[in-house]
Amino acid sequence: MPLSACEVLSERFDAAAPTNILSACEVLSEQFDTTAPTNILSACEVLSEQLNSLVSQPLRSVTGRSYPQQDRTIVSRLSRLENVSFLNPGPVDLYTSPTGKTTLITEIVLECTTGTAVIVDGSAGAGLTPGSFNVISNTTLTNFRLAGDVFALVPNGKSVQVGSAQTLVLNRVASSGTALLATVDVYGIVV
């Protein structure tokens, strides 16, 4: 017998540390089948409570979008930048920490969206200024060449946080080929 919507939501989502309502909807759609309906009214009441708690939180702006501030123990996607070329070397601004807050970067995920005739692997890392690698060391992007390839850049050793109003910069050393574009997602914790 399937779980009730309320049981699923109460197990997965804590009202004291609200999470993304889209995630709650995804859980509902995965758990509940229209051929075996459950108490949707109860699910809607729980989602309504979650929405009310989210709406009451202050918002922060990340790359032109506004997101509710997260609990300091929750890793979340902080920004997304699309169509970043890895054939062109140089810095790209990825994320600016909110004023009055610091951010612990947990990883930067690169997903190749276009890869054509790439013959030399490039490298990338992240820092607080163009050309620096003090947040994530410069890492060779071994075999990051074809659409669908995913590469995670993670900090090693002691973490350097992105301070109040500081910008995280992706520093690229060029690959060689005809085309290499990627979507870049930054994940971390805002403290």
Output phi, psi for 36, to 5 deg: -130, 70
Residue 63 covered by a domain: no
- Asked whether residue 191 carries a pLDDT value surpassing 70, the answer given is yes
Instruction: Give 36-85 pLDDT, tens digit per residue.
Output: 444 554 554 655 565 455 444 444 444 444 555 555 578 999 999 999 99
Residue 60 covered by a domain: no
Report how far residue 93's alpha carbon sits from residue 100's, in angstroms, rounded to the nearest whole number: 19
Instruction: Give 116-138 pLDDT, tens digit per residue.
Output: 999 999 999 999 999 999 999 99
> How do 150-153 and 59-62 pair as beta strands?
unpaired
Report how far residue 3's alpha carbon sits from residue 5's, in angstroms, rounded to the nearest whole number: 6
**In which domain, by residue range, is 130 found?**
69-190
12 and 89 co-located in one domain: no
119 and 173 co-located in one domain: yes
Output phi, psi for 129, to 5 deg: -140, 155
**Taking Cα atoms as reference points, which of 46, 39, 116, 55 lies closest to residue 85?**
116
- The CATH number given to whatever domain includes residue 163 is 2.60.120
165 and 115 co-located in one domain: yes
76 and 17 co-located in one domain: no
Q: How does DSSP classify residue 16?
A: T
Structurally, the chain folds into a number of domains equal to 2
91 and 184 co-located in one domain: yes
77 and 138 co-located in one domain: yes
Torsion of CA 11, 16, 20, 21, to 10 degrees: 70
Report how far residue 162's alpha carbon sits from residue 98's, in angstroms, rounded to the nearest whole number: 10
Stronger pLDDT, 152 or 33, i.e. the higher one: 152
**Taking Cα atoms as reference points, which of 51, 40, 45 lies closest to residue 5?**
40
Quote the pTM value: 0.62
132 and 174 co-located in one domain: yes
46 and 99 co-located in one domain: no
